[in-house]
Structure 1
Amino acid sequence: MAWTELTREQHMRTATRYPSDLPDAEWAVIGPRLPGPNRLGRPRTVDLRRVWDAIRYLAAAGCAWSLLPQDFPPVSTVRYYFYSWRNDGLLTVINRELVAV
């Protein structure tokens, strides 16, 4: 069966890829809290929303770091941001704000 304009509309993905992906309303709360780009070093090339989605995926799935799907940023990048935000207390701040919403 070939794709037609009608079938493309019927089967177009409108939902997020994973159930753990962040809704836009929550991103509006979290996004401003995440650190901006550094003045020194290389410019950031990773999307922090995708990093946050990866952290949520790992938490929801309860899986090991090595089982993170390939369509997320690299495991080492996600792990770096997770530990950095945990050590800075940012995850605690974000959790409080999301609970308050």
Structure 2
Amino acid sequence: QSAYAQIVHYGMNAKVGNVSFEMPQPGEMVIDKPYSEKTAELIDSEVRELINTAHVFTTELLIKHKDNISKVAERLLKQEILSREDMIELLGKRPFPEKS
């Protein structure tokens, strides 16, 4: 639903363009779409591509950081709640400057 909103409602897609179509509210009946069948197919294709790209990126990110994820998961099984200090102990300092 958020992928459709990104493309259809907010116009955040290069192929569909910077256009915004009103999206139906949950439970609302849709009689006619405010765009053609060809545009609907393009939107569906772009939504699929957006989701697939996000899935690949997320999977790669999880694999890359698997050791750190395991450390945090093991500690959570023991403690249930982790503090900022616990996270620094497990993962080291943040890779970017602290906000004041």
TM-score (norm 1): 0.29
Report which of the two structures shows the higher radius of gyration computed on alpha carbons.
2
Higher RCO, Cα 8 Å, sep 6+:
1
